Amino acid sequence: MPLHLANLQDWQFPEKTTIYTDKDTMLYALSLGFGESPTDPAELPFVYEDGLRAVPTMGAVLCHPGPWLTDPRTGATRSKVVHGEQRMRFHAPLPPQGQLTARSRVIGIQDKGADKGALLHLQRELYGEDGTLVITLRHSSFCRADGGCGSFGESLVLNAPPARAPDRSFELKTLPQAALIYRLNVDRNPLHADPAKARQAGFDRPPLHGLCTYGMAARAILKMWLDHDPARLASLDTRFSASVFPGETLVFETWREGGGIAFRALAKERGVKVLDNGWADIRG
């Protein structure tokens, strides 16, 4: 059925505060594969408390609004909703431990048509204890069965990568147990752990969380272009094109374009594009 446009325009999210520790920060980095080489001096600061650094994309798992689209007032057919796109802008470095408060709102719906679904754009702003805006997130959900609802608000667009060969490419191997580790951050959807639940959803085995693949894009860009300095990553945007399965190798293709990096990612073993239309603004 169509999304309930009027309800979503006026949807009220309560402020949500999260206190996180250095343990949470290290767990998040480990779930992305940091520390694969335990003595690597470039990656150790993300998984060791002495001089600990936070991966900026950890903001995606902090102050999470939870499964709010399951509320029948939204009109969403939850079983047909997938994570379509993710955007994050990093206004200030994410402390390795601390407290953040989120303010969320629906900023737009793009109706594709009654038989084509709709894109719902949710914005979440994370503020530090002193009121400083640390991160702005924009999460786009593709509601595949809920078009014909009408549109409002912002229409978000991602740019296609350049037509030329990549400037730099890099491979990252996902762990066979990657989904079991990543789900300890925030998203314990059984789809990512229970083979029976995965089969019911049309997968032959549990897929990896899209936000884990997204965090691995940050890991790849930090290594390839930013000398592992998280303060230089100003934004990270991408579209989820296909699922990744734990144990697969991700090939990140990147292009330097003006003040940023265009990127995409492929699952090497299947030759399938899993991230597309990626863009990262960089500082310095």
Measured between alpha carbons, how far is 45 from 229 in angstroms, rounded to an integer?
10
CATH code assigned at 275 = 3.10.129.10
Measured between alpha carbons, how far is 86 from 167 in angstroms, rounded to an integer?
24
Q: Are 146 and 251 found together in one domain? A: no
Q: What is the pLDDT of residues 52-70, one digit of tens each?
A: 999 999 999 999 998 899 9
Q: What is the pLDDT of residues 223-237, one digit of tens each?
A: 999 999 999 999 999
Could you list the residue range(s) of the whole structural domain that residue 267 is in? 168-281
192 a catalytic residue: yes
**Does 100 fall in a domain?**
yes
Written as six digits, the tokens of 116 are: 């084509």
pTM, 2 dp: 0.96
- Which one from 24, 146, 187, 237 is the annotated catalytic residue? 187
Does residue 268 carry a pLDDT above 90? Answer: yes
Domains in the chain, number: 2
Q: Are 142 and 215 found together in one domain? A: no
Q: Are 106 and 29 found together in one domain? A: yes
229 a catalytic residue: no
Q: Are strands 16-20 and 98-113 parallel, antiparallel or unpaired?
A: antiparallel
Cβ density class 211-235: b for 16+ within 10 Å, e for less: bbbbbbbbbbbbbbbbebebebbbb
**Does 28 fall in a domain?**
yes
What's the pLDDT score for residue 81? 87
Q: Are 126 and 208 found together in one domain? A: no
- Which one from 64, 121, 192, 209 is the annotated catalytic residue? 192
**Does 134 fall in a domain?**
yes
**Does 159 fall in a domain?**
no
